[in-house]
Amino acid sequence: MAPATTTLVESEESGSLILAATGEWLVETAADLDRRLRGIEAPKGRRVTLDLAGINRLDTAGAWLLLRTEHDLMARGNTVEMRNLRPSFEPLIDQVRTAGFVPPARHPRPAHHTIAGFIARIGEISLGLIARAYSILGFFGVVCSTALRVACHPRRLSMTAMVAQMEQTGVNALPIVSLLTFLIGVVIAYQGADYLRFYGLESYTVQLTGASILRELGVLLTAIILAGRSGSAFTAQIGTMRVNEEIDAMRTIGLDPVEVLVLPRLFGLVLTLPMLTLCANFMGIFGGGLTAWSQLGIGIPQFLTQLSGIAPWSFWIGMIKSPFFAVVIALIGCYEGFQVAGSAESVGRLTTLSVVEAIFLVIVIDAGFSIFFSALQI
């Protein structure tokens, strides 16, 4: 196999530098060619001509090196022209150019332990977060358009799949939600009674416990539990299907993965989270009532009388939040599942990430609701 050679000849007639490429530009000779091409020193602003008449054989690696050289010279301000390329090589050059094999020129990253490196790292993280938010917003738009299409043809929605998701996310989650909210009600009543007793206001423990659970803790704890339980399950299930190429198979036979996988999970969670919130509110107040009876001697009639003094909006505020939390948990769980890229490690990493993102967004939305209702003086 003849070695590939490159020469750089300055043409006085045309006023340009001519890079005459000869030999075999293949992957076997790519290392030597890369070293030669990186040593080219063309004056800035000078016209450079790549004469490719002498190339006998060319593969993807050789085409990439030619296009990279063209890109680097143009980035330095040179005018570059390729000429005398064999017609049989033109489709390969066009394919490599279209596929985007030529990377853009990149500036060296500052050292991470310097101030410039620290600022650069913050910038990279910020741009990554913006890109991720944009991607999630785009996924939300796809889900909304698919939901509108299904609304026009309701029979396309699989009721069996939706009921199965309601069982998994609602019925199966009922014991853990009930237990945790019951214990939280006990804790709030205990702590509130101890604190209010110092001011002689221990009778207000019932109002404190009821308002805290109905307005915030009932729905918030339920959403966090489902984010860790159901949101992670959505990511793991869809991610495993991505690894096994089942989603590609769905597209091949004409099925829409968003319609088949996302909508049943989304609608199922939207329907079950308010019901779980209602159960959580009851169990939390029940735990607080037991504590008030055992520690403060407040009987059931007195407890219910004091509980009725809480504004009715306290109950509805928590119920209004629940569908929004359900949408966020389901969308994040399904979105991260579709981001899985062909490995078990990716499934685990994105499952963890989906839980973190869902809990973060739930708390952010809850803070927004708090500000909104406070502005309305509700």
> What's the pTM value of the predicted model, to 2 decimals?
0.68
Residue 107: predicted pLDDT: 53
Q: Which amino acid is at 212?
A: S
d(CA 228, CA 298): 36
SS3 at position 104: coil
| 8-state DSSP, 204 | G
Domain with CATH 3.30.750.24 in the chain: 5-99
Tokens of 201: 């206001």
Bridge partners of 25, per DSSP, are 58
SS3 at position 42: coil
Contacts (Cβ under 8 Å, ≥6 apart) of 226: 169, 173, 269, 273, 276, 326, 329
**Length reported for the chain:** 378
Residue 271: predicted pLDDT: 94
- Name the nearest CA neighbour of 53 among 23, 8, 28, 73: 23
d(CA 279, CA 296): 25
Strands (E), 59-128: 79-83
- Name the nearest CA neighbour of 70 among 48, 98, 39, 99: 48
Residue environment code for 9-38, b if the CB has 16+ CB neighbours within 10 A, otherwise e? eeeeeeebbbbbbbbbbbeebbeebeebbe
- Give 10-residue mean pLDDT values along the chain (378 residues): 47 66 78 76 75 81 83 80 83 78 52 76 87 90 92 88 91 93 91 80 82 90 93 92 87 89 93 94 91 81 81 86 94 91 81 92 93 86
> Phi and psi of 358, rounded to 5°?
-65, -45
Q: CB–CB of 18/51 below 8 Å?
A: yes
Residue environment code for 201-239, b if the CB has 16+ CB neighbours within 10 A, otherwise e? ebeebbbbbbbbbbbbbbbbbbbbbbbbbbbbbbbbbbb
What CATH number was assigned to the domain covering residues 5-99? 3.30.750.24
| 8-state DSSP, 260 | I
| 8-state DSSP, 52 | E
d(CA 154, CA 309): 44
Q: Which amino acid is at 140?
A: F
